[in-house]
Amino acid sequence: METKLSVNINKIATIRNARGGNLPDLVQFAKDCELFGADGITIHPRPDERHITTKDVGDLAKVVRTEFNIEGYPDERFMQILKDHRPAQATLVPDPPGVLTSNTGWNFSNDLEFLKPIIDKIHGMGIRSSLFVNGDEKSVIAAAKLGVNRIEFYTGPYASQFEDNKSAAIAPYIAAAKAADECGIGINAGHDLNLKNLRFFKENLPSLLEVSIGHALISDALYLGIENTIKMYKHQLNF
């Protein structure tokens, strides 16, 4: 099964915002990523607009021709963004304002009642839903009860353990992926995936539909160039 690569372009907006103006040009960068083979564009428009701004969302929605994935915490502002721009996919993450980066999946023992009406609203907009989840079977089964279309595995723990013990790092994700397959939920993944650990992850999760990668990919592009980097990441996914 071919796995899609969605390029997270938050870091490009961060560089632009550091100086003001429009360099680098975020919209042109997104278009170029698509031209170079990216299967989608991911953004995370945080309330403090530390990188992606509300205006950016509208500008990108007009030009993205591949899969547009908007991720974020589902507060009133985020839901209005979805309503206004109708991306292909909305990925819900449990990081309220002030969190530096998404670093855990949803706590379903507390969040089920909160998430259910939100997911229903997203489906009512004709948008595919995805939930950021930890790599364990219980989280997948809980997500299935909400009727979500996909889950996105938080792969930070996998990446941190990869160099020391690949087998131990991937084991919980294999079990969680099996549960997702049995529940009929599509599998995405993201966080700290890179050119060293990506192929092994895909080899062990053959039903993986999509990865969203930003920080590592943009960092590699500083040395390798964005066109070459996108090709290298896609090669790690579809070998």
Whole-angstrom Cα distance, residue 105 to residue 131? 8
Cis peptide before 74 (omega within 30 of 0): no
Whole-angstrom Cα distance, residue 47 to residue 199? 34
Whole-angstrom Cα distance, residue 204 to residue 207? 9
What does the pLDDT read at residue 109? 85
**Half-sphere exposure of 238 toward its Cβ, with a 13 Å CA cutoff?**
14
Told to judge if 67 belongs to the known catalytic residues of this protein, a careful annotator would answer no
Which residues, including other chains, have CB under 8 Å from residue 191's CB and lie 6 or more apart?
Answer: 102, 103, 154, 155, 156, 159
The domain of 91 spans: 4-237
Told to judge if 191 belongs to the known catalytic residues of this protein, a careful annotator would answer yes
Domain count across the chain: 1
What does the pLDDT read at residue 180? 98
**What SS3 class is residue 76?**
helix
| CA 15 to centroid of chain Cα atoms | 20
Told to judge if 71 belongs to the known catalytic residues of this protein, a careful annotator would answer yes
Whole-angstrom Cα distance, residue 49 to residue 45? 6
- Catalytic residue, chosen from 44, 51, 67, 85, is 44
Whole-angstrom Cα distance, residue 230 to residue 120? 34
Q: Residue 175 maps to which CATH number?
A: 3.20.20.70
What does the pLDDT read at residue 96? 65
- Catalytic residue, chosen from 71, 85, 152, 210, is 71
- Catalytic residue, chosen from 85, 152, 191, 210, is 191
Q: In a structure prediction context, what are the per-residue pLDDT tens digits for the chain, which is 239 residues long?
A: 899 999 999 999 999 999 999 999 999 999 999 999 999 999 999 999 999 999 999 999 999 999 999 999 999 999 999 999 999 999 999 986 665 556 789 998 889 999 999 999 999 999 999 999 999 999 999 999 999 999 999 999 999 999 999 999 999 999 999 999 999 999 999 999 999 999 999 999 999 999 999 999 999 999 999 999 999 999 999 98
Torsion, Cα 150 156 159 161, to 10 degrees, reads -120
**Half-sphere exposure of 3 toward its Cβ, with a 13 Å CA cutoff?**
29
